[in-house]
Structure 1
Amino acid sequence: MQESIIIAGFGGQGVMSIGQLLTYAGMIENKNVSWLPSYGPEMRGGTANCNVMVSDSNIGSPIVTEATAAIVMNRPSLEKFENDIIKGGNLLINSSLIDSKPKRDDLKVYYIPANELAMDIGNSKVANMIMLGAYLELTNAVEIDSIIEAFKKVFGDSKSHLIPINKEALEKGAEAVR
């Protein structure tokens, strides 16, 4: 198993957090992982994306040139990264913010209203976790329990009170693609 994921959006959408959580969860499960962040030149609200690999075998390069999946949180990210996904790969679109369809017809496309689902559970900041839950449901790259354990490492004890709502968001995301 090797998952090569592009996660993209604008700053503040939790794009880097998704990448870090996947990477830490992979380490918890003794998998080979890489995380390569990339930021636009803007101080706030600029572009942000990361390349993540989770694999049972060695990883030759942290750069994802042929993604098995992409999680896109905004329209510019869809336009920029759609062509980097392999034929038959998964494209997860935050349909709350993206009103256009991909140009390609050889991808498995999932429209997830992440922002609306986040508001339904009471916290707009968990839209990224909804997208992550959907991705995990489709790929089984890592276990949700490993993501929760990784949450503790990435965000520390001071944010542990947020674990229940983040777990709920992961489950909502999974439901959205079932």
Structure 2
Amino acid sequence: MYYDVIIAGFGGQGIMLIADILALIAMKEEKNVTWMPSYGVEMRGGTANCTVVLSSEEIGSPVTGHPMSAIVMNEPSLLKYEPMVKSKGFLLVNTSLIDPEKAKRKDIDTLLLPANYIAKKLGNSQMANMVALGAFIEKTKVVSLDLAIKLLPEIFPERPPKFISNNSRAIEKGAEFAVKGEQG
């Protein structure tokens, strides 16, 4: 098994957190993992992306020119990474911030996910990254969705139980959208 994904957006969207959680789940599942972040010059509002490679075998390089998938949380990320996704790959597009008409490729599986909208309906638009994580895991099955939820207290040890349950719900709602194609 080999799977690579680029997660991209702007600083403050929780891009690195999505990557961290994917990497942690994969390690718990005893997969090999590489995690390679890249930041723009600004801390908030600048570009941020991270490449995560998961494999059952040793990983030769953390760099990928044509990932199997991409999670794009803003329009500049769509424009940059959609062309790179391998044919028959997967693209998750945050349609809360990206016009769905701009996702043009027909040779890849594209999920148009209103991540910010779903997160806002749950009470906190900052959970859009967790919504995207849940949808991504549900669509790709590259790691365990149950384990993602189970690991939240370990990932956020200082956070109160309400924070954990809210993020669990966001992951679940993202997964639900990936299956049903609606907010439900």
TM score, norm. by length of structure 2: 0.91
Paired residue type of 1:49: N
8 Å CA contact retained: 2:10, 2:48: yes
Runs of 4+ in 1 over 4 A off after TM superposition: none
In structure 1, what residue type is equivalent to 2:142?
A: A
- Correspondence 1:171 to 2:167: no
| Structure (1/2) with the larger strand percentage | 1
Given that residues 115 and 127 in structure 1 are in contact (C-alpha distance below 8 angstroms), is that contact kept between their aligned partners in structure 2?
yes
How far residue 176 of structure 1 moved from its aligned partner, in angstroms, is 1.1
1:86 counterpart SS class: coil
Hey, what does 2:182 align to over in structure 1? none
CA RMSD across the alignment = 1.4
Show the counterpart of 1:63.
63
Structure 1: gaps of 5 or more residues:
none
Shift of 1:67: 0.8
Secondary structure of 1:66's partner?
coil
Preserved CA contact (<8 Å) 2:53 2:62: yes
The code of the aligned residue for 1:78 comes to L
- Counterpart in the other structure of 1:129: 130
Give the Cα–Cα distance (whole angstroms) in 2 for the partners of residues 153 and 23 of structure 1: 14
Indicate conservation of the 8 Å contact 2:34/2:52, yes or no.
Answer: yes
Paired residues for 1:133-172 under 5 Å: 133-158=134-159, 161-172=162-173
**What are the superposed Cα offsets for residues 124-144 of structure 1, whole Å, 9 maximum, x if unpaired?**
111001111111111111112
Task: Give how far 1:123 is off.
Answer: 1.2
Is contact 2:156-2:164 (8 Å) kept?
no
Matched, 1:5 2:34: no
Q: Are the structure 2 counterparts of residues 103 and 31 from structure 1 closer, same or farther at C-alpha, using a change threshold of 3 Å? A: same
Quote the sequence identity (%). Answer: 49
Q: How many residues are treated as equivalent by the alignment?
A: 178
Matched to 2:4, the amino acid is S
Alignment of 1:1-178 (within 5 A): 1-99=1-99, 100-158=101-159, 161-178=162-179
1:159 and 1:10 map into 2 onto residues whose CA distance is 27
Instruction: State the AA in 2 paired with 1:128.
Output: N
SS of the residue aligned with 1:137?
helix
Aligned-residue offset at 1:122:
0.9
Tell me the TM-score normalized by structure 1.
Answer: 0.94
CA distance in 2: counterparts of 1:57 and 1:124, whole angstroms: 37
- Measure the CA separation in 1 of the matches of 2:65 and 2:156: 29
Give CA-to-partner distance per residue, 1:102-152, whole Å, 9 cap, x none.
232211111000011001111111100111111111111111232234433
